[in-house]
Amino acid sequence: MTSGGSHGGGPYDPQGTPPPTYGQQGQPGYGASGHETQNPGGAYGSGPGTYVPGSGPGGYGAPPPQTRVFPGGPVPGQPGSGAFPAQSPYSPAPGNTTYGAGAFGTPPPAEPASPQPPKKGGGGKAAIAIGAVVLALVAGGIGGVVGATVDNDSTSTSTASQDGPLGGDPNSQTAGQMEAPEGSVQDVAANVLPSVVSIDVVEGNQQGEGSGVILSDDGVIMTNNHVVSAGGSRPASNVSVSFADGSRAAAKVLGADPVSDIAVIKADKTGLKPITVGTSKNLAVGQDVIAVGSPLGLESTVTTGIISALNRPVSTSREAGTTSVIDAIQTDAAINPGNSGGALVNARGALIGVNTAIATLGGGQDTQGGSIGLGFAIPIDQAIRVANQLRETGRSTQAGLGVSVRPTSDSTTPGALISDVTAGGPAAKAGIPEGAVVTKVGDRTITSGDALVAAVRSHAPGDTVDITYTVRGAPKTAQVTLETLRVN
Protein backbone atom coordinates (compact mmCIF):
# COMPACT_ATOMS: atom_id res chain seq x y z
CA MET A 1 0.00 0.00 0.00
CA THR A 2 1.41 3.34 -0.96
CA SER A 3 0.59 6.73 0.41
CA GLY A 4 -0.56 9.53 -1.87
CA GLY A 5 1.12 12.85 -2.43
CA SER A 6 -0.15 16.30 -1.56
CA HIS A 7 -3.51 17.33 -3.03
CA GLY A 8 -4.46 13.64 -3.29
CA GLY A 9 -2.56 13.09 -6.50
CA GLY A 10 -0.10 10.48 -5.23
CA PRO A 11 0.63 7.07 -6.67
CA TYR A 12 -1.88 4.29 -6.45
CA ASP A 13 -1.90 0.53 -6.68
CA PRO A 14 -2.09 -0.30 -10.39
CA GLN A 15 -4.22 -3.32 -9.50
CA GLY A 16 -6.88 -1.08 -8.07
CA THR A 17 -9.71 0.33 -10.13
CA PRO A 18 -10.70 2.91 -10.92
CA PRO A 19 -7.57 5.12 -10.81
CA PRO A 20 -7.69 8.03 -8.37
CA THR A 21 -9.10 11.28 -9.71
CA TYR A 22 -9.21 14.83 -8.47
CA GLY A 23 -12.67 15.82 -7.36
CA GLN A 24 -14.42 18.58 -9.23
CA GLN A 25 -17.16 20.77 -7.97
CA GLY A 26 -20.50 19.00 -8.21
CA GLN A 27 -18.94 15.64 -9.19
CA PRO A 28 -18.14 12.55 -7.08
CA GLY A 29 -14.63 11.66 -6.08
CA TYR A 30 -13.50 8.08 -5.84
CA GLY A 31 -11.50 6.05 -3.39
CA ALA A 32 -8.85 3.64 -4.50
CA SER A 33 -9.27 0.02 -5.53
CA GLY A 34 -11.29 -2.38 -3.53
CA HIS A 35 -14.45 -0.48 -2.82
CA GLU A 36 -15.72 2.56 -4.64
CA THR A 37 -16.76 5.19 -2.19
CA GLN A 38 -18.52 8.18 -3.67
CA ASN A 39 -17.81 11.50 -2.00
CA PRO A 40 -18.33 15.12 -2.91
CA GLY A 41 -15.34 16.38 -4.90
CA GLY A 42 -13.04 19.16 -3.77
CA ALA A 43 -14.62 22.54 -4.28
CA TYR A 44 -13.48 24.76 -7.14
CA GLY A 45 -13.40 28.11 -5.50
CA SER A 46 -16.17 27.54 -2.96
CA GLY A 47 -17.25 25.30 -0.12
CA PRO A 48 -15.35 22.51 1.63
CA GLY A 49 -14.38 19.38 -0.22
CA THR A 50 -14.61 16.21 1.86
CA TYR A 51 -11.70 13.89 1.52
CA VAL A 52 -12.48 10.21 2.03
CA PRO A 53 -9.88 7.57 1.20
CA GLY A 54 -10.97 4.34 -0.50
CA SER A 55 -10.72 1.10 1.26
CA GLY A 56 -8.02 -0.13 -1.10
CA PRO A 57 -4.39 0.88 -1.46
CA GLY A 58 -3.17 4.06 -3.12
CA GLY A 59 -6.09 6.23 -3.99
CA TYR A 60 -5.83 9.77 -2.86
CA GLY A 61 -3.20 9.01 -0.28
CA ALA A 62 -5.15 10.12 2.76
CA PRO A 63 -3.19 11.64 5.63
CA PRO A 64 -3.24 8.89 8.26
CA PRO A 65 -4.79 8.27 10.63
CA GLN A 66 -7.94 10.24 9.91
CA THR A 67 -9.90 12.02 7.23
CA ARG A 68 -9.85 15.80 7.17
CA VAL A 69 -12.17 18.41 5.70
CA PHE A 70 -10.45 21.55 4.43
CA PRO A 71 -12.04 24.67 3.00
CA GLY A 72 -11.07 25.55 -0.55
CA GLY A 73 -9.74 28.79 -1.95
CA PRO A 74 -12.34 31.21 -3.38
CA VAL A 75 -10.71 31.38 -6.82
CA PRO A 76 -7.74 29.64 -8.40
CA GLY A 77 -4.45 31.12 -7.22
CA GLN A 78 -6.04 33.09 -4.35
CA PRO A 79 -5.93 32.37 -0.60
CA GLY A 80 -8.50 29.93 0.76
CA SER A 81 -10.75 30.68 3.68
CA GLY A 82 -9.06 28.27 6.04
CA ALA A 83 -5.83 26.45 6.69
CA PHE A 84 -4.65 22.88 6.64
CA PRO A 85 -4.44 21.46 10.18
CA ALA A 86 -0.95 21.64 11.53
CA GLN A 87 -0.67 17.88 11.82
CA SER A 88 -1.69 17.31 8.20
CA PRO A 89 1.09 16.43 5.76
CA TYR A 90 -0.67 18.74 3.30
CA SER A 91 -0.04 21.83 5.39
CA PRO A 92 3.10 23.74 4.37
CA ALA A 93 3.28 25.30 7.81
CA PRO A 94 0.98 25.55 10.82
CA GLY A 95 -1.74 28.11 10.21
CA ASN A 96 -0.83 28.85 6.59
CA THR A 97 -3.78 29.40 4.32
CA THR A 98 -4.21 27.20 1.32
CA TYR A 99 -3.75 28.41 -2.23
CA GLY A 100 -5.14 26.94 -5.36
CA ALA A 101 -8.44 25.86 -6.82
CA GLY A 102 -10.36 24.48 -3.85
CA ALA A 103 -9.34 21.92 -1.25
CA PHE A 104 -8.58 18.77 -3.20
CA GLY A 105 -10.26 19.53 -6.48
CA THR A 106 -8.68 21.08 -9.55
CA PRO A 107 -10.67 23.49 -11.69
CA PRO A 108 -12.41 21.86 -14.63
CA PRO A 109 -10.92 22.80 -18.00
CA ALA A 110 -12.26 26.08 -19.31
CA GLU A 111 -14.75 25.77 -22.10
CA PRO A 112 -13.57 27.27 -25.38
CA ALA A 113 -14.92 30.74 -26.03
CA SER A 114 -17.72 30.92 -28.53
CA PRO A 115 -16.61 32.48 -31.81
CA GLN A 116 -17.88 36.02 -32.24
CA PRO A 117 -20.08 36.62 -35.25
CA PRO A 118 -18.54 38.91 -37.84
CA LYS A 119 -19.63 42.52 -37.78
CA LYS A 120 -22.09 43.47 -40.45
CA GLY A 121 -21.11 45.74 -43.28
CA GLY A 122 -17.89 46.19 -45.20
CA GLY A 123 -17.59 42.51 -46.08
CA GLY A 124 -16.62 41.66 -42.49
CA LYS A 125 -13.83 44.27 -42.38
CA ALA A 126 -13.65 46.99 -39.77
CA ALA A 127 -15.19 50.19 -41.04
CA ILE A 128 -12.99 53.30 -41.18
CA ALA A 129 -13.76 56.92 -41.76
CA ILE A 130 -13.08 57.96 -45.31
CA GLY A 131 -11.81 61.44 -45.98
CA ALA A 132 -9.34 63.43 -47.98
CA VAL A 133 -5.74 63.30 -46.77
CA VAL A 134 -4.57 66.83 -46.02
CA LEU A 135 -0.99 67.84 -45.35
CA ALA A 136 -0.69 70.27 -42.48
CA LEU A 137 2.17 71.99 -40.72
CA VAL A 138 2.37 70.68 -37.17
CA ALA A 139 1.90 73.93 -35.35
CA GLY A 140 0.49 74.90 -32.02
CA GLY A 141 -1.25 78.18 -32.62
CA ILE A 142 1.12 79.83 -35.08
CA GLY A 143 3.38 76.88 -35.70
CA GLY A 144 5.10 73.84 -34.33
CA VAL A 145 6.94 70.79 -35.70
CA VAL A 146 9.10 67.92 -34.50
CA GLY A 147 12.70 67.69 -35.72
CA ALA A 148 15.63 65.26 -35.55
CA THR A 149 19.17 64.30 -36.61
CA VAL A 150 21.41 61.22 -36.84
CA ASP A 151 25.10 60.42 -36.58
CA ASN A 152 27.27 58.91 -39.30
CA ASP A 153 26.05 55.42 -38.45
CA SER A 154 22.27 55.47 -38.62
CA THR A 155 21.92 51.77 -37.82
CA SER A 156 19.44 51.20 -35.01
CA THR A 157 20.79 49.56 -31.88
CA SER A 158 19.15 48.02 -28.86
CA THR A 159 20.35 46.42 -25.65
CA ALA A 160 18.27 43.85 -23.80
CA SER A 161 17.85 44.24 -20.06
CA GLN A 162 19.39 41.47 -18.02
CA ASP A 163 17.14 41.81 -15.00
CA GLY A 164 13.81 43.13 -16.20
CA PRO A 165 11.97 44.59 -19.17
CA LEU A 166 13.00 48.13 -18.27
CA GLY A 167 16.33 47.37 -16.62
CA GLY A 168 17.25 46.82 -13.01
CA ASP A 169 15.88 44.28 -10.59
CA PRO A 170 12.08 44.06 -11.05
CA ASN A 171 11.74 42.86 -7.46
CA SER A 172 13.76 45.70 -5.98
CA GLN A 173 11.98 47.87 -3.44
CA THR A 174 14.47 50.71 -3.88
CA ALA A 175 12.80 54.02 -4.68
CA GLY A 176 13.81 56.02 -7.75
CA GLN A 177 14.07 55.50 -11.49
CA MET A 178 15.31 52.24 -12.93
CA GLU A 179 18.73 52.37 -14.52
CA ALA A 180 18.42 52.88 -18.28
CA PRO A 181 19.95 50.06 -20.33
CA GLU A 182 22.45 51.43 -22.84
CA GLY A 183 20.84 51.95 -26.23
CA SER A 184 17.28 51.77 -24.91
CA VAL A 185 14.65 54.42 -25.63
CA GLN A 186 14.93 55.43 -21.99
CA ASP A 187 18.69 55.95 -22.40
CA VAL A 188 18.32 57.90 -25.66
CA ALA A 189 15.57 60.10 -24.19
CA ALA A 190 17.70 60.95 -21.15
CA ASN A 191 20.52 62.12 -23.45
CA VAL A 192 18.38 63.98 -25.99
CA LEU A 193 15.81 65.76 -23.80
CA PRO A 194 18.27 68.42 -22.49
CA SER A 195 18.98 69.38 -26.13
CA VAL A 196 15.36 69.98 -27.16
CA VAL A 197 13.46 73.15 -26.28
CA SER A 198 9.96 74.59 -26.42
CA ILE A 199 9.48 77.85 -28.32
CA ASP A 200 6.74 80.43 -27.73
CA VAL A 201 6.06 83.14 -30.30
CA VAL A 202 3.91 86.27 -30.02
CA GLU A 203 3.24 88.70 -32.86
CA GLY A 204 0.49 91.26 -32.42
CA ASN A 205 -2.62 89.43 -31.31
CA GLN A 206 -1.32 86.07 -32.53
CA GLN A 207 0.63 83.55 -30.54
CA GLY A 208 1.93 80.07 -31.14
CA GLU A 209 4.31 77.42 -29.95
CA GLY A 210 6.73 74.92 -31.39
CA SER A 211 9.95 73.09 -30.64
CA GLY A 212 13.63 73.43 -31.45
CA VAL A 213 17.00 71.71 -31.11
CA ILE A 214 20.10 73.21 -29.52
CA LEU A 215 23.06 73.50 -31.91
CA SER A 216 25.59 75.21 -29.62
CA ASP A 217 26.18 75.72 -25.91
CA ASP A 218 25.78 79.50 -26.28
CA GLY A 219 22.11 79.33 -27.32
CA VAL A 220 21.96 78.78 -31.11
CA ILE A 221 18.77 76.79 -31.83
CA MET A 222 17.38 75.35 -35.07
CA THR A 223 13.63 75.21 -35.66
CA ASN A 224 11.09 75.62 -38.48
CA ASN A 225 10.48 78.85 -40.34
CA HIS A 226 6.75 78.47 -39.79
CA VAL A 227 7.32 78.31 -36.02
CA VAL A 228 8.90 81.77 -35.89
CA SER A 229 7.06 83.47 -38.75
CA ALA A 230 3.89 84.12 -36.76
CA GLY A 231 1.82 82.73 -39.61
CA GLY A 232 3.04 85.49 -41.89
CA SER A 233 5.85 86.26 -44.27
CA ARG A 234 8.41 87.50 -41.73
CA PRO A 235 9.80 86.34 -38.37
CA ALA A 236 8.04 87.40 -35.20
CA SER A 237 9.62 89.96 -32.90
CA ASN A 238 8.72 88.32 -29.57
CA VAL A 239 10.28 84.85 -29.19
CA SER A 240 11.02 83.01 -25.94
CA VAL A 241 12.50 79.59 -25.21
CA SER A 242 11.77 77.11 -22.41
CA PHE A 243 14.51 74.62 -21.55
CA ALA A 244 14.37 71.10 -20.13
CA ASP A 245 15.58 72.29 -16.72
CA GLY A 246 12.54 74.58 -16.39
CA SER A 247 14.37 77.83 -17.14
CA ARG A 248 13.29 80.36 -19.77
CA ALA A 249 15.09 82.93 -21.90
CA ALA A 250 14.31 85.49 -24.58
CA ALA A 251 15.52 84.78 -28.12
CA LYS A 252 16.00 86.59 -31.41
CA VAL A 253 15.73 85.23 -34.94
CA LEU A 254 19.08 85.03 -36.75
CA GLY A 255 17.57 83.96 -40.06
CA ALA A 256 14.65 82.09 -41.63
CA ASP A 257 14.16 80.34 -44.98
CA PRO A 258 10.54 79.80 -46.10
CA VAL A 259 11.55 77.49 -48.98
CA SER A 260 13.31 74.90 -46.81
CA ASP A 261 11.14 75.78 -43.76
CA ILE A 262 14.25 76.12 -41.56
CA ALA A 263 14.99 78.95 -39.12
CA VAL A 264 17.73 79.66 -36.58
CA ILE A 265 17.27 81.61 -33.36
CA LYS A 266 19.67 82.69 -30.61
CA ALA A 267 18.56 82.40 -26.98
CA ASP A 268 20.03 84.57 -24.25
CA LYS A 269 21.50 81.61 -22.34
CA THR A 270 24.80 79.71 -22.15
CA GLY A 271 25.98 76.38 -20.79
CA LEU A 272 23.51 74.42 -22.92
CA LYS A 273 23.89 70.86 -24.22
CA PRO A 274 24.05 70.74 -28.05
CA ILE A 275 22.36 67.84 -29.78
CA THR A 276 24.47 65.29 -31.65
CA VAL A 277 23.98 66.02 -35.36
CA GLY A 278 24.10 62.96 -37.58
CA THR A 279 23.45 62.32 -41.25
CA SER A 280 20.41 61.41 -43.31
CA LYS A 281 22.26 59.93 -46.28
CA ASN A 282 22.30 56.35 -44.94
CA LEU A 283 18.83 55.99 -43.48
CA ALA A 284 16.72 52.90 -44.11
CA VAL A 285 13.00 52.21 -44.16
CA GLY A 286 12.02 50.34 -41.00
CA GLN A 287 14.77 51.94 -38.91
CA ASP A 288 13.79 52.84 -35.33
CA VAL A 289 13.39 56.56 -34.63
CA ILE A 290 12.42 58.71 -31.66
CA ALA A 291 10.64 62.08 -31.83
CA VAL A 292 11.16 64.67 -29.09
CA GLY A 293 9.28 67.94 -28.81
CA SER A 294 6.42 69.85 -27.19
CA PRO A 295 3.13 68.73 -28.76
CA LEU A 296 0.18 70.84 -27.61
CA GLY A 297 2.52 72.61 -25.18
CA LEU A 298 3.47 69.38 -23.38
CA GLU A 299 7.20 69.97 -23.08
CA SER A 300 9.79 67.18 -23.29
CA THR A 301 7.44 64.65 -24.87
CA VAL A 302 9.02 61.50 -26.33
CA THR A 303 7.36 59.24 -28.92
CA THR A 304 8.75 56.30 -30.87
CA GLY A 305 8.26 54.74 -34.28
CA ILE A 306 10.06 53.76 -37.45
CA ILE A 307 11.01 55.35 -40.74
CA SER A 308 8.01 54.57 -42.93
CA ALA A 309 9.41 55.97 -46.21
CA LEU A 310 12.26 58.07 -47.57
CA ASN A 311 12.42 60.79 -50.24
CA ARG A 312 8.73 61.52 -49.84
CA PRO A 313 7.87 64.77 -51.70
CA VAL A 314 5.66 66.77 -49.36
CA SER A 315 4.18 70.10 -50.39
CA THR A 316 2.88 72.38 -47.65
CA SER A 317 1.43 75.87 -47.77
CA ARG A 318 1.06 78.55 -45.11
CA GLU A 319 -1.25 81.48 -44.51
CA ALA A 320 1.12 83.83 -46.30
CA GLY A 321 0.75 81.70 -49.43
CA THR A 322 4.34 80.42 -49.49
CA THR A 323 4.66 76.81 -50.61
CA SER A 324 7.47 74.60 -49.35
CA VAL A 325 8.26 71.28 -51.02
CA ILE A 326 10.12 69.00 -48.64
CA ASP A 327 12.12 65.92 -49.56
CA ALA A 328 10.80 64.32 -46.40
CA ILE A 329 11.47 61.42 -44.09
CA GLN A 330 8.11 59.81 -43.35
CA THR A 331 7.60 58.34 -39.88
CA ASP A 332 4.82 56.81 -37.81
CA ALA A 333 6.22 58.28 -34.57
CA ALA A 334 3.45 60.46 -33.15
CA ILE A 335 3.89 64.08 -34.26
CA ASN A 336 1.29 66.66 -33.27
CA PRO A 337 0.80 70.45 -33.27
CA GLY A 338 3.65 71.97 -31.26
CA ASN A 339 6.20 69.35 -32.38
CA SER A 340 7.38 71.56 -35.26
CA GLY A 341 11.12 72.15 -35.15
CA GLY A 342 11.73 69.37 -32.65
CA ALA A 343 14.06 66.42 -32.98
CA LEU A 344 13.76 63.15 -34.85
CA VAL A 345 16.69 61.01 -33.70
CA ASN A 346 17.97 57.54 -34.43
CA ALA A 347 18.46 54.75 -31.88
CA ARG A 348 21.80 56.26 -30.87
CA GLY A 349 20.31 59.67 -30.14
CA ALA A 350 21.75 61.44 -33.20
CA LEU A 351 19.62 64.02 -35.00
CA ILE A 352 18.48 62.77 -38.42
CA GLY A 353 15.63 65.15 -39.22
CA VAL A 354 13.50 68.14 -38.23
CA ASN A 355 9.82 67.19 -38.04
CA THR A 356 7.64 69.70 -39.79
CA ALA A 357 4.29 68.36 -41.04
CA ILE A 358 1.66 65.66 -40.67
CA ALA A 359 -1.11 64.27 -42.84
CA THR A 360 -4.66 64.62 -41.50
CA LEU A 361 -8.02 63.30 -42.62
CA GLY A 362 -10.50 65.84 -44.00
CA GLY A 363 -11.33 68.98 -42.08
CA GLY A 364 -11.46 72.55 -43.24
CA GLN A 365 -8.93 75.34 -43.29
CA ASP A 366 -9.43 76.05 -39.60
CA THR A 367 -9.50 72.43 -38.51
CA GLN A 368 -6.28 71.13 -37.00
CA GLY A 369 -6.02 67.39 -36.58
CA GLY A 370 -3.59 65.24 -34.67
CA SER A 371 -1.32 62.37 -35.55
CA ILE A 372 -2.67 59.56 -37.71
CA GLY A 373 0.75 57.95 -38.01
CA LEU A 374 1.84 59.97 -41.04
CA GLY A 375 4.49 62.46 -39.97
CA PHE A 376 7.18 64.15 -42.07
CA ALA A 377 10.63 65.45 -41.19
CA ILE A 378 13.20 67.48 -43.12
CA PRO A 379 16.35 65.33 -43.57
CA ILE A 380 19.16 66.67 -41.42
CA ASP A 381 21.69 66.92 -44.25
CA GLN A 382 19.45 69.51 -45.93
CA ALA A 383 18.34 71.20 -42.71
CA ILE A 384 21.80 71.64 -41.21
CA ARG A 385 23.24 73.08 -44.46
CA VAL A 386 20.58 75.78 -44.48
CA ALA A 387 20.84 76.31 -40.71
CA ASN A 388 24.61 76.89 -40.91
CA GLN A 389 24.10 79.48 -43.67
CA LEU A 390 21.40 81.28 -41.66
CA ARG A 391 23.56 81.17 -38.55
CA GLU A 392 26.58 82.66 -40.33
CA THR A 393 25.01 85.14 -42.77
CA GLY A 394 21.29 85.34 -42.00
CA ARG A 395 20.56 84.19 -45.56
CA SER A 396 20.40 80.84 -47.35
CA THR A 397 20.60 79.35 -50.83
CA GLN A 398 18.88 76.48 -52.68
CA ALA A 399 19.85 74.43 -55.70
CA GLY A 400 18.02 75.10 -58.99
CA LEU A 401 17.59 73.29 -62.32
CA GLY A 402 16.32 76.32 -64.24
CA VAL A 403 12.96 74.90 -65.33
CA SER A 404 9.26 75.16 -64.59
CA VAL A 405 7.30 71.91 -64.30
CA ARG A 406 3.72 70.69 -64.36
CA PRO A 407 2.00 67.27 -64.30
CA THR A 408 2.09 65.20 -67.47
CA SER A 409 -1.08 65.20 -69.55
CA ASP A 410 -0.96 61.40 -69.83
CA SER A 411 -1.80 59.83 -66.47
CA THR A 412 -0.15 56.58 -67.57
CA THR A 413 3.20 58.31 -68.08
CA PRO A 414 4.86 59.17 -64.74
CA GLY A 415 7.37 61.97 -64.52
CA ALA A 416 7.68 65.75 -64.42
CA LEU A 417 6.79 67.64 -67.60
CA ILE A 418 9.07 70.63 -68.23
CA SER A 419 6.78 73.47 -69.28
CA ASP A 420 9.48 76.16 -69.47
CA VAL A 421 13.28 76.29 -69.60
CA THR A 422 15.17 79.31 -68.26
CA ALA A 423 17.57 80.73 -70.84
CA GLY A 424 21.16 80.24 -69.73
CA GLY A 425 20.11 78.01 -66.82
CA PRO A 426 21.48 74.56 -65.94
CA ALA A 427 18.86 72.63 -67.95
CA ALA A 428 19.31 74.85 -71.01
CA LYS A 429 23.08 74.47 -70.87
CA ALA A 430 22.68 70.68 -70.68
CA GLY A 431 20.35 70.67 -73.72
CA ILE A 432 17.17 69.62 -71.90
CA PRO A 433 14.31 71.09 -73.97
CA GLU A 434 10.85 72.35 -73.11
CA GLY A 435 8.36 69.48 -73.29
CA ALA A 436 10.82 66.91 -71.95
CA VAL A 437 9.54 64.56 -69.25
CA VAL A 438 12.06 64.04 -66.44
CA THR A 439 11.92 60.47 -65.10
CA LYS A 440 15.04 60.28 -62.91
CA VAL A 441 17.46 62.43 -60.93
CA GLY A 442 20.49 60.24 -60.42
CA ASP A 443 19.12 56.85 -59.33
CA ARG A 444 15.95 58.37 -57.94
CA THR A 445 12.71 57.83 -59.87
CA ILE A 446 10.65 60.96 -60.52
CA THR A 447 6.88 60.51 -60.72
CA SER A 448 5.61 64.10 -60.43
CA GLY A 449 6.55 67.76 -60.52
CA ASP A 450 6.81 67.91 -56.72
CA ALA A 451 9.10 64.89 -56.78
CA LEU A 452 11.46 66.70 -59.18
CA VAL A 453 11.46 69.86 -57.04
CA ALA A 454 12.13 67.85 -53.87
CA ALA A 455 14.92 65.85 -55.52
CA VAL A 456 16.68 68.97 -56.79
CA ARG A 457 16.36 70.75 -53.44
CA SER A 458 17.86 67.73 -51.68
CA HIS A 459 21.15 68.71 -53.33
CA ALA A 460 23.41 71.67 -52.61
CA PRO A 461 24.05 74.39 -55.21
CA GLY A 462 26.95 73.40 -57.45
CA ASP A 463 26.26 69.65 -57.24
CA THR A 464 26.44 67.77 -60.54
CA VAL A 465 23.62 65.29 -61.15
CA ASP A 466 22.44 63.02 -63.96
CA ILE A 467 18.99 63.92 -65.30
CA THR A 468 17.15 61.21 -67.22
CA TYR A 469 14.29 62.42 -69.42
CA THR A 470 12.29 61.50 -72.51
CA VAL A 471 11.49 63.55 -75.60
CA ARG A 472 8.66 62.14 -77.70
CA GLY A 473 9.24 58.80 -76.00
CA ALA A 474 13.00 58.64 -76.63
CA PRO A 475 15.02 58.34 -73.37
CA LYS A 476 18.06 60.55 -72.87
CA THR A 477 20.43 61.43 -70.04
CA ALA A 478 22.20 64.73 -69.39
CA GLN A 479 24.71 65.75 -66.75
CA VAL A 480 23.65 68.99 -65.08
CA THR A 481 25.44 71.30 -62.63
CA LEU A 482 22.78 72.82 -60.35
CA GLU A 483 22.73 76.59 -60.01
CA THR A 484 22.55 78.66 -56.85
CA LEU A 485 19.25 80.28 -55.98
CA ARG A 486 19.19 82.83 -53.19
CA VAL A 487 15.76 82.58 -51.63
CA ASN A 488 15.72 85.09 -48.74
The predicted-structure confidence for 8-61, as pLDDT tens digits, reads as follows: 333 333 344 444 444 333 333 333 333 333 334 333 333 344 444 433 333 343
Q: State the pLDDT at residue 191.
A: 96
Q: State the pLDDT at residue 87.
A: 40
60 vs 217, higher pLDDT: 217
Average pLDDT over all residues of the chain: 73
- Does the annotation mark 226 as catalytic? yes
**Domains within the chain, CATH numbers bracketed:** 1-107 (no CATH), 131-158+182-395 (2.40.10.120), 397-486 (2.30.42.10)
Q: How confident is the model at residue 233 (pLDDT cuts 50, 70, 90)?
A: confident
User: Which entry of 154, 198, 226, 324 is annotated as an active-site residue?
Assistant: 226
Statement: residue 155 has pLDDT above 50: no
Beta bridge partners of 39: 29
Beta bridge partners of 469: 438, 476
- Which of 63-77, 343-357, 426-440 has the least mean pLDDT? 63-77
DSSP for 444-475 reads EE--SHHHHHHHHHTSPTT-EEEEEEEETTEE
- Does the annotation mark 7 as catalytic? no
Q: State the pLDDT at residue 120.
A: 33
Q: How confident is the model at residue 315 (pLDDT cuts 50, 70, 90)?
A: confident
Q: State the pLDDT at residue 114.
A: 37
- Which of 119-133, 161-175, 211-225, 428-442 has the least mean pLDDT? 119-133
Using DSSP's 3-state secondary structure scheme, residue 174 falls into coil
Q: How confident is the model at residue 245 (pLDDT cuts 50, 70, 90)?
A: very high
- pTM of structure: 0.66
The predicted-structure confidence for 331-372, as pLDDT tens digits, reads as follows: 999 999 999 999 999 999 999 999 999 988 865 545 567 889
Q: What percent of the chain has pLDDT over 70?
A: 60
User: Which entry of 324, 340, 396, 448 is annotated as an active-site residue?
Assistant: 340
Mean pLDDT for the stretch of residues 408-425: 89
Interstrand relation of 133-137 and 248-257 (parallel, antiparallel or unpaired): unpaired
189 vs 8, higher pLDDT: 189
The predicted-structure confidence for 445-482, as pLDDT tens digits, reads as follows: 999 999 999 999 999 999 999 999 999 889 999 999 99
Q: State the pLDDT at residue 415.
A: 93
247 vs 233, higher pLDDT: 247
Please choose, from the candidates 346, 221, 345, 218, the residue with its C-alpha nearest in 3D space to the C-alpha of residue 271.
Answer: 218
Q: State the pLDDT at residue 182.
A: 84
Q: State the pLDDT at residue 139.
A: 54
Q: Of the spans 60-69, 150-159, 435-444, which averages the highest pLDDT?
A: 435-444
Q: State the pLDDT at residue 411.
A: 75
Q: State the pLDDT at residue 409.
A: 79
Q: State the pLDDT at residue 178.
A: 75
203-239 in b/e form (b: 16+ CB < 10 A) is beeeebbbbbbbbeeebbbbbbbbbbbbbbeebbeeb
185 vs 95, higher pLDDT: 185
How far apart, in Å, do the first and last CA atoms of the chain sit?
A: 99
Cis peptide before 65 (omega within 30 of 0): yes
How many H-runs (helices) and E-runs (strands) does the chain carry?
A: 5, 28
- Does the annotation mark 324 as catalytic? no
Q: Cα–Cα–Cα angle for 46, 47, 51, nearest 5°?
A: 120
The predicted-structure confidence for 396-408, as pLDDT tens digits, reads as follows: 999 999 999 988 8
The C-alpha torsion from 62 through 65 and 67 to 72, rounded to 10°, is: -60
User: Which entry of 151, 261, 288, 450 is annotated as an active-site residue?
Assistant: 261
DSSP for 184-219 reads SHHHHHHHHGGGEEEEEEEETTEEEEEEEEE-STTS
Statement: residue 271 has pLDDT above 50: yes
